[in-house]
Amino acid sequence: MSVNPETAQARAPRLRLVASKPRLKKLLELTSINGELDTIWLRYGPNGISQSQVDPSYTMAVIARFSRAYFTEYSTDGEGEVKVPHSIYNVVSKYLKEVDNIELKVEGDVLALRGRDEVYEGSLLQVELPRIEVGIEERDYGFVPATGTVRAVYGVDSEEWYIKADEIKIHYGSTLKLTVDLEEGGTYTRGAKVLDRRDVAGSGTVAVDGKTFRSVVELFTGPIYLVITDAAVILSQRSSDYLVSFILALRESAE
């Protein structure tokens, strides 16, 4: 791939990391929102890799941080950012097969992946991407926009929310329920098991796009946080070496 010198960015500082194949695949799945983003925009530095990216339609964003402890080996000689195609997920999945660990290197404008005997090299992307225009705060249950009000925070089992629907309505308050429209006609409402409840201010109903919600929640296994603000539903998961939050814009007319 040739690079237009008028649009090319300054060469990124070198980055080298080694991760197990499952861990690298998970990072690529999370940061691409399971393939919803064609280009993954990552920042890196001495403490690890981070991401703050909105989709082109401005209806969903992903905020993520992977500490250097997430990787088997990690080193860089500075702070930089890279834009890589989501297609490298296919390289990891289909071509680097018989490997336990994969080395990823960024040097100059080249991204390289190395397995046991296989090597992939490709150019970093030089594209303009939309930026998140609001500040982001980190809380113990995930990343949230600095503006707006948090209405409720629940700890839930992600697998209970693997739901197929065009739209999902979430009823929050002292209890947590969800409603979906059925293909057969009518609606279906059920309670949701709450593992942890905090910061519940009042009650109400919000609605989100069902396809978007499902594409995000299927990225998780185990407990997650479901956060409701006055402008978004946020799904977050924290582990000892990563934190990721997906911010989904609300639909209008939830009642």
41-64 pLDDT, tens digit each:
999 999 999 999 998 888 899 999
Amino acid 1: pLDDT: 33
Domains defined for the chain, CATH in brackets: 12-123 (3.10.150.10), 142-249 (3.10.150.10)
The pair of three-digit structure tokens given for residue 109, joined into one six-digit string = 């404008």
Amino acid 3: pLDDT: 38
Instruction: Please report, as a single letter, which amino acid is at residue 13.
Output: P
Helix (H, G, I), strand (E, B) or coil at 78: coil
Handedness of CA 60, 243, 37, 159 (dihedral sign): negative
User: Which residues of the chain are modeled with pLDDT < 50?
Assistant: 1-9
Amino acid 7: pLDDT: 40
Handedness of CA 199, 151, 148, 235 (dihedral sign): positive
pTM for the predicted model, two decimal places: 0.90
CB atoms within 10 A of CB 125: 19
User: How many degrees, rounded to 5, is the angle at CA 226 between CA 248 and CA 173?
Assistant: 110
Helix (H, G, I), strand (E, B) or coil at 155: strand
Amino acid 11: pLDDT: 67
Q: Find, among 207, 254, 199, 250, the residue nearest to 225 by Cα.
A: 199
**DSSP secondary structure of 191-238:** E---SEEE---S-EEEEEEHHHHHHHHTT--SEEEEEEESSEEEEEEE
Q: What Å distances lie between residue 31 and 41, 199, 251, CA to CA?
A: 8, 28, 23
Rg (CA), the chain: 20
